[in-house]
Structure 1
Amino acid sequence: MTGTPDPLVQVWPLFGLVITTPRLVLTPVRDEHLPGLVDAVLAGVHDPAEMPFSIPWTDAPRDVLITETAKHQWRLRAGVTAADWTLNFAVLHEERVIGVQDLAARSFPVLRRVRSGSWLTRSLQGQGFGTEMRAAVLQFAFDHLGATSAASEAADWNRASLGVSRRLGYVPNGTSLVEARRGEVEILQNVLLAPEDFVRPDWTADVQGAEAALAFLTPGPD
């Protein structure tokens, strides 16, 4: 891309990070993405009878859900440090926001492990987008950030999420218990992926802005 440099990238280098796949564009959520993000949430993310998230944020009333969606993105952005970061990527298909794919790490310069989570507006589920968006951030994590492992988790009944993990090469890594939405106990299946086990797609993501992002997330010693 040519032209006048984006002034926001000068002050927040992560805004220059763009990952492109055959059908999708992933880039850290900007404020201009928020209306589309809210529309995707309000259109529905899951069967109302089920709750795939450990924090039942989609249960919030409509007005609360709208404002909390924006506040959550701002909190994550403000909380980024080299030791503790979560990148929320807006996932765009045909220039429309259809979901979020996150990538997070704790003590990344030492542990080199990332975690991921995602959601996709319900009307576009079942078309392979979930696999494509996670494969995109895994390529970024392994090939550009130098991650040595990637973790994820899903409720043991969440076949869609666990299916994505299985297709990409994750292996089971134990279980944990959480309190579910209605006070019931739910089993989470933890999964782990090493770079050599990553089942790569037949395409390679185009990543722009990786060098600046890496310098921002893993700064060297003063």
Structure 2
Amino acid sequence: MTSPRLPTQWPLAGLRLTTPRLELRLPGPDELSALASLAAEGVHDPAVQPFTVPWTDAEPGQRARDVLQYHWRCWGEWQPQNWVLNLVVLYEGAVVGMQGVSARDFAVCREVSTGSWLGLRHHGRGMGTEMRTAVLHLAFAGLGARHALSGALHHNAASLAVSRKLGYRDDGIEHHAVRGEPALMHRLRLTAEQWQYQEHIPVKLDGLTECLPLFGLDRV
């Protein structure tokens, strides 16, 4: 439960992104605990590692603790010139996953990157597209971004499909080592112009104005 004073002291606590099915917001202690438990249950088929940082290979208890520490670390290290916003995703009031958006020198570069995961039992319901749409709306319509970047390993068909559906275009490749084996990552880029000329589900933003200084902005 959020303290009534917290949104004043830390405006991000009052930020809300709402889509037809989902709500995205900074997690409170109970929601962060639920997110950690969801990660412990499983995020993907354990036979295939979709992340370049294989955090999901840890045993369930460690995986849960890693989720907690990652969120705490991002909050503690937040700077307007270098920020990572991790939002818990709720469906019908229940935590189903996490959607992140991050940037360095955003006020100058106007470029963001996104990353996300859903609990394994929530896959295949179109939530990945809806939650990415929410943070892209935040980035482009709310913060005035000019570019959004994403990336997925070649075998991560679900993530690549979300990016293609939302209009991203190829932006090169990277080579990574995952589980001791070479892995090819596809980089993708979406411009504000490409985003503007597509139809999207409606997204409502609440509490953004108070947060702008934390993103390095005095206005959009």
1:157 equivalent among 133, 155, 158: 155
Q: 1:113·1:149 contact (CA, 8 Å) conserved in 2? A: yes
Partner residue, 1:207 = 205
Which residue is equivalent to 2:184? 187
The 3-state SS of whatever aligns with 2:49 is coil
Once the two structures are superposed, what CA deviation does each residue of 1:122-152 show, in whole Å capped at 9, x if it has no partner? Answer: 1111111000000000001000101000000
Higher mean alpha-carbon deviation, 107-116 vs 58-67, is at 58-67
Deviations 1:43-65 (A, max 9, x none): 21100001111111111122212
Structure 2 counterpart of 1:71, from 69, 72, 91: 69
Match of 1:196 in 2: 193
Deviation digits for residues 84-120 of structure 1 (CA, Å, limit 9, x no counterpart) = 0000000000111100000000110110000000000
Distance 1:124 1:189 in 2: 24
Residue range with higher mean Cα deviation, 62-71 or 18-27: 62-71
Equivalent pair of 2:12/2:26 in contact (CA under 8 Å): yes
Task: Tell me the secondary structure at the aligned position of residue 79 of structure 2.
Answer: coil
* Alpha carbons 2:39, 2:60 under 8 Å: kept: no
Output the CA distance in 1 between the equivalents of 2:184 and 2:201.
Answer: 34
Q: Please give the residue correspondences for 1:90-105 in structure 2 after superposition, counting only pairs within 5 Å.
A: 90-105=88-103
SS at match of 1:69: helix
Amino acid at match of 2:23: V
Could you say what secondary structure the match of 2:108 adopts? helix
Q: 2:34 aligns with which of 36, 40, 50?
A: 36
1:160 is paired with a residue whose SS is: helix
SS in 2 for 1:99: strand
What SS does the aligned partner of 1:46 have?
coil
Would the aligned equivalents of 1:135 and 1:201 in 2 still touch at CA under 8 Å? no
1:124 corresponds, among 122, 125, 128, to: 122
Q: Does 1:26 align with 2:42?
A: no
SS of match in other structure, 1:80: coil
Residue among 104, 107, 115 paired with 1:106: 104
Cα RMSD between the aligned structures?
1.4
Once the two structures are superposed, what CA deviation does each residue of 1:1-26 show, in whole Å capped at 9, x if it has no partner? xxxx8211111111110000000000
In 2, Cα distance between equivalents of 1:219 and 1:140: 14
How far the C-alpha of 1:79 sits from its partner, in A, is 1.1
Residues 1:135 and 2:102 aligned together: no
Runs of 4+ in 1 over 3 A off after TM superposition: 199-202
* TM-score normalized by the length of structure 1: 0.93
Q: Secondary structure at the match of 1:39?
A: helix
How many residues align? The count is: 215
Aligned to 1:57: 55
| TM-score, scaled to structure 2 | 0.94
Q: Which one of 72, 81, 100 corresponds to residue 83 of structure 1?
A: 81
SS state at 2:171 partner: strand
